[in-house]
Amino acid sequence: MATSTWLNLNDLGRRFGISASHCGRMLEQEGWRDRHGCPTPAALEIGAAEQRAPHSKGRSALWNADLCAAVLERHGHHPVSRAQHVNQWTDLLEAMADGSPSITTSADQMAEELPPDLVDAVNQQLNRRGCPYRVHRQVTQA
């Protein structure tokens, strides 16, 4: 029996290039998430969700990647390839590094959301484009 991959909404949405909010709305439309952000009994029963801490308003819910992917695909979303994901992050960080008076978030703040496994690839692509910005991650001591 295969082991399921369990993801939070941020990580699930990221796989499809959509926000956690949009991902959550798709799961609500499916009847798997209630208006408070918690998995519905139907979602729990079929194994589409796990609720780790029942009183935390859905923040501790994890979603079955395979079952939820099928829902997102039925709603017209498609998984984003690693290359597309790297390109999206590179485009975003390059634009933020260039700056705009209408953007109040810094490139460093936005880079905090970059998945760790993409940091090197994004930095390489920024370098190839001639952009001086680089994502810097502090290494935590275990």
Number of H helices, E strands in the chain: 7, 3
Q: What are phi and psi of 39, to 5 degrees?
A: -60, 140
- Tens-digit pLDDT profile for the chain (142 aa)? 457 799 999 889 988 988 889 999 999 999 999 999 999 999 999 999 998 776 655 568 999 999 999 999 999 999 988 898 899 889 989 988 888 777 788 889 888 888 888 899 999 999 999 999 999 975 544 4
Q: How far apart are CA 63 and CA 27, in angstroms?
A: 10
